[in-house]
Amino acid sequence: MENKKVKVVLELDRECIQSSLFLMGEKLSDEIWEKLTSEDVALSPDDFGEQKTQMQVAFSCLAIAKVMDK
């Protein structure tokens, strides 16, 4: 079996990022927004910490459901 991987792409708008930062007690600066939008932000399972398995399963289920709905 080939060692291919599934790539999941998710776009977040400024309002979502701003709301997330607000919940973190931070404000969205132009500098942070520019950094976030200047290039793709790649996440790996290791970025999920203790929720690694749960996050992998959640994204897997969403990807499978999206493909099966086509």
User: Could you read off the pLDDT of 13-69 as tens digits, one per residue?
Assistant: 999 999 999 999 999 999 999 999 999 999 999 999 999 999 999 999 999 999 999
DSSP per-residue codes, 21-44: HHHTT----HHHHHHHHHS-----
Cα(36)–Cα(30) distance, integer angstroms: 10
Q: Are 61 and 68 in contact (CB under 8 A)?
A: no
Give the per-residue pLDDT at 55.
96
Give the per-residue pLDDT at 2.
86
Give the per-residue pLDDT at 43.
95
Measure CA of the first residue to CA of the last residue in the chain; give whole Å.
25
Give the per-residue pLDDT at 67.
96
Cα(2)–Cα(70) distance, integer angstroms: 24
Whole-structure pTM over 0.85, yes or no? no
